[in-house]
Amino acid sequence: MRFVIDLGLCLAPASSALAHRIPPCPGGDRPARKVTCIVDGDTGWERGVKWRALDVDTLEISSPECAEEKRVGIKARDRLRELMGNG
């Protein structure tokens, strides 16, 4: 079993009034990701280049094993969007 970190629960809540949030990545069309977007709580794209956070492993949104896993994965993705939107 892998060690999973839920960024949404581990980190303090951020203000909901943010000037800029990086958008979630649309769909599964990876070649079309020439923009900056967040895939999940540990992966994103920066102008077409994929990146992953080191030593962070959050739940997957694209292939969840149950509804709760997807819910927590989305929460982690949205928290990362908030953090990165704050600079």
pLDDT value of position 87: 62
In a domain, 2, yes or no: no
66 in Cβ contact with 2 (< 8 Å): no
In a domain, 3, yes or no: no
Q: Give the closest residue to 80 by CA, choosing from 2, 52, 70, 30.
A: 52
Instruction: HSE, CB side, 13 Å, CA atoms: give it for residue 83.
Output: 17
In a domain, 16, yes or no: no
The model's pLDDT over 16-57, given as tens digits with 9 standing for 90+, comes to 444 578 899 887 666 666 788 999 999 999 988 999 999 999
The domain in which residue 32 lies consists of 21-85
User: How many domains does one find in the chain?
Assistant: 1
State pTM to two decimals. Answer: 0.69
In a domain, 11, yes or no: no
In a domain, 50, yes or no: yes
Q: How far apart are CA 33 and CA 44, in angstroms?
A: 10
